[in-house]
Amino acid sequence: KADHYGEHTISNIYFDTRDYELVRQSIEKPEYKEKLRLRAYGKVTDNSVVYAELKKKFDGVVYKRRIPMTLCQARKESQILKEIDYVLNRYELKPAAYVAYERVAYYGKDNEELRITFDRNICCRCSGLELKNGVYGTMLLDKNQILMEVKIPGAM
């Protein structure tokens, strides 16, 4: 069954070190890894709600912590922001990549914890790393290709 968002555009700014330590480490498939991103849905303005997200993966299980805020909102104290600040400072992270795509998401009729997403028009760029700059960049798939992801609780 389609989720209540329908088809929507998702854009992200991923943070990494100057020498891309986090993405290089992720490619090696370690038992533990983490990444930090700023995510937005739809067209982005200064007043749009965006999400600062800290994703951690341990032993095949993904844990995501996120907090909503406006793009221009002053940072507020919270446990999630403390964790995000820790990761930013630990790795000396800076904006490193922009990735956007159009997504349609579904969940299982008999099991709402089962989610399947279909992403198309996936693009990326390494400059102009502001969400409000809009969706543009190098296309990663051919026009007729779609990325499908199955999301379940726990590891499989």
Q: How many CB atoms lie within 10 A of CB 33?
A: 17
Q: Is residue 39 pLDDT above 80, yes or no?
A: yes
The residue length of the chain stands at 156
Q: What number is the average pLDDT over the span 29-40?
A: 92
For residue 91, what are its two tokens? 């790795």
C-alpha–C-alpha distance, residues 110 and 6, integer Å: 19
Q: Is residue 76 pLDDT above 60, yes or no?
A: no
Better-predicted residue by pLDDT, 18 or 155: 18
Q: Is residue 1 pLDDT above 90, yes or no?
A: no
The whole-model pTM stands at 0.75
**Angle at the Cα of 106 from the Cα atoms of 112 and 6, rounded to 5 degrees:** 125
Q: Is residue 94 pLDDT above 60, yes or no?
A: yes
Q: Which of 95, 96, 105 is nearest to 9 (CA)?
A: 105
Q: CA dist 83 to 75, 99, 111, Å?
A: 13, 23, 31
